[in-house]
Amino acid sequence: MLDFLKKLKKGGKHHEHDSREMRKFPPDVMKLLQQAGLDTDALIFGATGDMDIDGTYHTLWLSLDEKGIYYALGDEQVVKAKGKKRLETKYTLDSLRCTPFEDYDTLDTERNLTTAMLIGKKDGEDFPVAVFSLGLIAKFEAFADTFNALKDGKSPEEATKMPPPPGKCPKCGSPLPPGNRPCPKCASKVSTFKRLLSFFAEFKWKVALIVFSMLISTAISLIIPQISSTYLYDNVLNTAGTQPYETLLGSLISVVLSIIAIKVVNLLFTVIYQYIVAGILPWIIYDIKLKIFEAMQRLSVGFYSAKQTGSLIERVNRDSNNIYWFFVDGMPYLIISFVTVLGVVAIMFATSVKLTLMVLAAIPVVGVIYYFSQKFFRRLHHRNWVSNANLTSAVSDNVNGHRIIKAFSKENEEFDRFSDKSGKVMHSEINYANAEATIFPIIGLIVSVAFALLMAFGGKMVVDGQITLGKLMSFVVYANMLQSPISFLSWVSNWWARCADSAQRVFEIIDSKPDVFDKENPIILDKIEGNIELNELEFEYEPARPIIKKLDLKVEAGEMLGIVGKTGAGKTTIANLIARLYDAKAGCVKIDGYDVKDLKMEQLRTNIGIVSQDIYLFIGTIADNIRYANPDADFSMVVAAAKAASAHDFIMKLPDGYETRVGSGGQDLSGGERQRISIARTIIQNPKILILDEATAAMDTETERNIQNSLSQLKHGRTTIAIAHRLSTLRDADHLAVIDSGKVVEYGTFDELIRKKGEYFKLYQIQSEALKFIGIGD
Amino acid sequence: MDDTKVTQSGFLGLEFIEPGDCCFYTNPHGFIALRLNGKDYPRVKLTRAYPYTEPFAYIGIEETDDKEIGMLKNAEELPAEQFSLVRKELESRYFCPVITEVLSFKEKMGHFYFEVKIGEHKTNFAVRDISRNVRTLPDGTTLIFDMDGNRYSIPDLEKIDSKNRRKIEPFLY
């Protein structure tokens, strides 16, 4: 009996281990499947879907063993278990069906708009296997890969050795955003606040001084009414008639003087804390900005393409400013308000418990009124902001499209559009002003009525002799002092929410880990020769949208390879993978026999020069831009590189020559001119591997020929990969590769490919026909 | 690219015109002309590649149709009288009036109106989009481009009277 139990335990453990390792289903589902007659121990891989084949929502447990594919359709429901606090998932199984392993040759996935499909292929025909939401595609892709691997005769262990599924947060289990960014769900606002405070740690003594001087200055402001009201009424004015005139005047002056003295001390502390705050905060903001910028430099290309440039720039500036204002304006005022409320209430209690209770009863009412009016105003304000933003975008749309507006003679319509948007802004502003004109007086009235009531009760107490007149007067002053802290406290949470939002966005960038990074102890080669080998390379920007599919390509050091192919065939992606701007999904890029992931990125990238399709010139002179890769280059090297890139002649025609300012705010250059400068920039880098990605596309044929001539001088000892649409660009290539949908479809020398009469020949014919047509072909 | 060659390091080198091979002279109409390796160019254009940092080095020599003949690495290596010819030509070609005094500086509707003294001569000009049209060179010279495309230079801003300097300074980057 005991043995049996042990076995059961062991079996249970084994089972659990399996489900984690092989990515199957929850134990309860496994049990259901077992009950339905499935040999769950033999299962190799499983994927959970959310639809049946018709697209209605059900839960689909699709699994696979060496005999076939099993479709289990059922449902899962989250229920509250009886007597337990925790939620529980209940599974039901409706049907189980099997397709023999031999029914399909391969499995593949296909994307629709919001769903995707698993498709089985047999003898060139396609069969639908499963339908599921697009978000699950990665799982089903892995499923298909496993199936295909098994078909290829691999063992189950090998077949399930797949890259890990898209990340889930280890804490909360919600899917992680792409690009190794932290889980947005787990980054709560409390921890954000703690982290923000950690920036202050360096300045903790100064912060302590700030808080101390704030407390002092608040405390002092609490004392003033004691003198200006209580003492003045009860001890000075009340004695009128009983004291000689001179004594009375003297004590009056002493009261005024002491009030002035206290005010001066108060001011002194206020100045101190404001001075320190102003001294610390810019440092902290500077720190945060540096951290964001540093993180942005570290991040890989993928991060930049996923984020809009505008939102990145805004993050660095606006978010850090949001944080700044909260800490410079909000925090001190929050502390002061809090202390003031506590202090005032304490003093009020000491003066008169009855009156205080009356005021305290009114506070929630006033607070609620403030809270709702703030909310109301925020909504109006937001509406105003939106209509203003609409107006701005309409104007910028108009200005940018002015040629088209004029060409189509649409000035009047544009005017109407503008006046419509502008009218909305006007209306929202009128609404705002009207609301302000109504609500503030109402609030004022409510508060005045409350004070009148307070005076009435207080007056009665004075008449009854319960408190003195001076005490009542100071009590009213104190009650007045509560107004602004309460209004502030009623909406500070909104302010904090905005600051926390900004801080979270900032931390998101700081915490992001680059997708492409140096491994520990990367290999540093003495010298890069320039042998390139791509082995079964696979890559995708989005799951299940493969751009490169099992691509093999080899370029010997010193050789020139030309890559041709249609738009979107994956040519640029190959260049990006060689320079390791992205990491391959599977397979590898080898340089001189080493996987690029093992090489030090800095060495790799300084030895690879890319002239890409989109050219960016930095703000600075032309010479600065050419020297970018090699700041030590002297003037003659710059000129030589520019000559090799056929840029020298146009540069010399500019009045400032090589010292012409380019980049934003500088001289306008044409596309071809910018391209030539970027070629010069790469030439001066003197890389071992030169990648020209449509580098001469924006140039006329003669300029292109000139550049080719000079590049061919540079070819010696250099591996060149040239990507082009225009076949004449690849005239000098030693070998040519034709790429189509992520695969090499043809490879060989120019003569071989022409003789083969395949894809390249077709392209060649089309282009030379076109040339013949315009009369310049042979 | 007949004047570039591949150097031993595999990098492109540049061949300059040897100062001994060329001879500048003034043609009958007063233009600068060149005899190079026995060939006469009756009129040549001299262009500075680095007009601000190297005013007398890296001088491009072009024919009147902008075709480059070659480049002089350092004009100061020429014999003295030839250098003075080249210098005179370059200085007249790259003449830029030097502002000695800013008399007034006003901003109106995004345009900046300067009233200046160039030597003893008073003049005024307007600059639009000052961030684009005022440039500070590495040696501290300030260049100003006016609306008509003229350029003026202020070699030393410190020498401009302090009242107007303070007005201009916020607009300089």
The tens digit of pLDDT for each residue in A636-692 reads 889 999 988 888 989 998 888 998 888 766 677 888 888 889 889 988 888 889 888
Same structural domain for residues B165 and B106?
A: yes
pLDDT at A2 over 60: no
Contact between chains at B11 and A716 (C-beta distance less than 8 A):
no
The per-residue pLDDT for A9 is: 39
Q: What is the CATH number of the domain that holds A755?
A: 3.40.50.300
Same structural domain for residues A425 and A547?
A: no
Nearest to A652 among B13, B47, B73 (CB): B47
Q: What is the CATH number of the domain that holds A278?
A: 1.20.1560.10
Same structural domain for residues A580 and A449?
A: no
Tokens linked to A652 = 């010399």
Distance in Å, alpha carbon of B107 to nearest chain A alpha carbon: 20
In a domain, A778, yes or no: yes
What is the rounded average pLDDT for all residues in chain A? 81
A615 interfaces chain B, CB cutoff of 8 Å: no
Same structural domain for residues A219 and A291?
A: yes
Same structural domain for residues A324 and A280?
A: yes
Please say which residue of B33, B66, B93 terminates a domain.
B93
Contacts of B14 in chain A (CB under 8 A): 636-637, 639-640, 643
B54 interfaces chain A, CB cutoff of 8 Å: yes
Contact between chains at A686 and B54 (C-beta distance less than 8 A):
no
Length, in residues, of chain B: 173
The per-residue pLDDT for A22 is: 46
B173 interfaces chain A, CB cutoff of 8 Å: no
Same structural domain for residues B28 and B10?
A: yes
Distance in Å, alpha carbon of B119 to nearest chain A alpha carbon: 24
Q: Which of residues 717-756 of A touch B (CB under 8 A)?
A: 717-718
Contact between chains at A644 and B132 (C-beta distance less than 8 A):
no
CA-nearest of B53, B2, B44, B47 to B23 is B44
Contacts of B57 in chain A (CB under 8 A): 635
- CA dihedral over A377, A380, A381, A382, signed as positive or negative: positive
Same structural domain for residues A132 and A186?
A: no
Residues A180/A97, Cβ–Cβ less than 8 Å:
no
Phi-psi region of A303 (alpha: psi -120 to 50; beta: other; left: phi over 0): alpha
A555-580: average pLDDT: 87
Q: How confident is the model at residue A310 (pLDDT cuts 50, 70, 90)?
A: low
Q: How confident is the model at residue A21 (pLDDT cuts 50, 70, 90)?
A: very low
pLDDT at A774 over 70: no
Distance in Å, alpha carbon of B52 to nearest chain A alpha carbon: 7
B64 interfaces chain A, CB cutoff of 8 Å: no
Interface test with B, best of A619, A624, A652 (most B CBs within 10 A): A652
Please say which residue of A641, A661, A686 terminates a domain.
A686
In a domain, A457, yes or no: yes
A428-436: average pLDDT: 88
Same structural domain for residues B108 and B60?
A: no
- Say how far apart CA A739 and CA A693 lie, in whole Å: 14
DSSP string, A199-251: TTGGGHHHHHHHHHHHHHHHHHHHHHHIIIIIIIIIIIGGGBTTB-HHHHHHH
Same structural domain for residues B21 and B89?
A: yes
pLDDT at A154 over 60: yes
- Kindly identify which residue of chain B lies nearest to residue A717, measuring between CA atoms: B10
Contact between chains at A658 and B50 (C-beta distance less than 8 A):
yes
Contacts of A648 in chain B (CB under 8 A): 68
Contacts of B54 in chain A (CB under 8 A): 635
- Say how far apart CA B162 and CA B101 lie, in whole Å: 11
The per-residue pLDDT for A419 is: 93
Q: How confident is the model at residue A778 (pLDDT cuts 50, 70, 90)?
A: very low
Same structural domain for residues A201 and A333?
A: yes
Contacts of A655 in chain B (CB under 8 A): 51
The 3-class secondary structure across chain B, one letter per residue, is CCCEEECCCCCEEECCECHHHEEEEECCCCCEEEEECCEEECCEEEEECCCCCCCCEEEEEEECCCCEEEEEEEHHHCCHHHHHHHHHHHHHHCCCCECCEEEEEEEECCEEEEEEEECCEEEEEEEECHHHHEEECCCCCEEEECCCCCEEEECCHHHCCHHHHHHHHHHCC
Same structural domain for residues A680 and A733?
A: no
Same structural domain for residues B83 and B148?
A: no
In a domain, A52, yes or no: yes
Distance in Å, alpha carbon of A636 to nearest chain B alpha carbon: 7
A446-464: average pLDDT: 87
Distance in Å, alpha carbon of A347 to nearest chain B alpha carbon: 53
Q: What is the CATH number of the domain that holds A57?
A: 2.30.29
Distance in Å, alpha carbon of A665 to nearest chain B alpha carbon: 6
In a domain, A362, yes or no: no
Contacts of B58 in chain A (CB under 8 A): 635-636, 639, 658
Distance in Å, alpha carbon of A21 to nearest chain B alpha carbon: 54
Where is pLDDT greater, at A508 or A424? A424
Contact between chains at A651 and B49 (C-beta distance less than 8 A):
yes
- CA dihedral over A756, A762, A766, A767, signed as positive or negative: negative
| Number of structural domains found in chain A | 5
The per-residue pLDDT for B137 is: 81
CA-nearest of A664, A665, A680 to A627 is A680
- Say how far apart CA A253 and CA B58 lie, in whole Å: 84
- What is the ipTM score, two decimals? 0.83
Interface test with A, best of B8, B44, B50, B128 (most A CBs within 10 A): B50
Q: Which of residues 657-696 of A touch B (CB under 8 A)?
A: 657-659, 661, 665-666, 683, 686
A51-69: average pLDDT: 86
Q: How confident is the model at residue A315 (pLDDT cuts 50, 70, 90)?
A: low
* Segment (H or E) for A419: helix A411-463
Distance in Å, alpha carbon of A634 to nearest chain B alpha carbon: 11
Distance in Å, alpha carbon of B4 to nearest chain A alpha carbon: 7
Same structural domain for residues A250 and A314?
A: yes
Contact between chains at A639 and B57 (C-beta distance less than 8 A):
no
In a domain, A278, yes or no: yes
Structural domain boundaries, residue A19: 2-155
Distance in Å, alpha carbon of B10 to nearest chain A alpha carbon: 7
B48 interfaces chain A, CB cutoff of 8 Å: yes
Nearest to B4 among A635, A643, A658 (CB): A643
Contact between chains at A686 and B11 (C-beta distance less than 8 A):
yes
The per-residue pLDDT for A306 is: 62
- In angstroms, the Cα distances linking A646 to A55, A116, A708 are 59, 50, 10
Contact between chains at A640 and B13 (C-beta distance less than 8 A):
yes
Distance in Å, alpha carbon of B148 to nearest chain A alpha carbon: 15
Nearest to B52 among A635, A659, A683 (CB): A659
B23 interfaces chain A, CB cutoff of 8 Å: no
Contacts of A651 in chain B (CB under 8 A): 49
Structural domain boundaries, residue B23: 4-93
pLDDT at A8 over 80: no
Same structural domain for residues A478 and A541?
A: no
Nearest to A657 among B12, B16, B51 (CB): B51
Interface test with A, best of B9, B12, B172 (most A CBs within 10 A): B12
For the sheet with A735-740, list strands across it.
A608-611, A689-693, A719-723, A560-565, A735-740, A743-748
Pairing type for strands A57-64 and A68-80 reads: antiparallel
Phi-psi region of A291 (alpha: psi -120 to 50; beta: other; left: phi over 0): alpha
Q: How confident is the model at residue A622 (pLDDT cuts 50, 70, 90)?
A: very high
Distance in Å, alpha carbon of B141 to nearest chain A alpha carbon: 14
The per-residue pLDDT for A110 is: 83
In a domain, A163, yes or no: no
Where is pLDDT greater, at A651 or A335? A651
Strand locations in A613-693 (E): 620-621, 661-662, 689-693
Nearest to B12 among A635, A644, A657 (CB): A644
Same structural domain for residues B30 and B109?
A: no
Contact between chains at B14 and A640 (C-beta distance less than 8 A):
yes
Per-residue pLDDT tens digits for A250-289 = 888 888 888 888 888 888 888 887 888 788 878 878 887 8
Q: Which of residues 102-161 of B touch A (CB under 8 A)?
A: 131-132, 135
Contact between chains at B10 and A714 (C-beta distance less than 8 A):
yes
A639 interfaces chain B, CB cutoff of 8 Å: yes
A165-190: average pLDDT: 56
Same structural domain for residues B27 and B55?
A: yes
Same structural domain for residues A371 and A491?
A: no
Please say which residue of B72, B93, B114 terminates a domain.
B93
Same structural domain for residues B75 and B138?
A: no
- Say how far apart CA A464 and CA A472 lie, in whole Å: 13
Please say which residue of B39, B69, B93 terminates a domain.
B93
Tokens linked to B90 = 């370059």
- Say how far apart CA A684 and CA A638 lie, in whole Å: 7
The per-residue pLDDT for A173 is: 56
In a domain, A668, yes or no: yes
| Number of structural domains found in chain B | 2
* Out of A183-192, A598-607, A758-767, least confident range: A183-192
Same structural domain for residues A637 and A769?
A: no
Same structural domain for residues B88 and B107?
A: no
Nearest to B10 among A651, A656, A717 (CB): A717
Per-residue pLDDT tens digits for A511-563 = 777 778 888 888 888 888 889 999 888 888 877 678 888 889 999 888 889 99
In a domain, A634, yes or no: yes
Interface test with A, best of B2, B3, B4 (most A CBs within 10 A): B4
Q: Residue with structure tokens 């004695």?
A: A239
- Kindly identify which residue of chain A lies nearest to residue B11, measuring between CA atoms: A686
Same structural domain for residues B69 and B107?
A: no
The per-residue pLDDT for A695 is: 80
pLDDT at A372 over 80: yes
Q: Which residues contact A473 (CB under 8 A, 6 or more apart)?
A: A229, A230, A233
- Helix axis angle, A483-511 relative to A353-400, nearest 10°? 50
Same structural domain for residues A389 and A335?
A: no
The per-residue pLDDT for A402 is: 85
Per-residue pLDDT tens digits for A131-152 = 888 878 888 888 888 888 888 8
Question: Which regions in chain B score pLDDT beneath 50?
Answer: 1-2, 8-10
A41-49: average pLDDT: 86
Residues B120/B99, Cβ–Cβ less than 8 Å:
no
DSSP string, A304-317: HHHS-HHHHHHIII
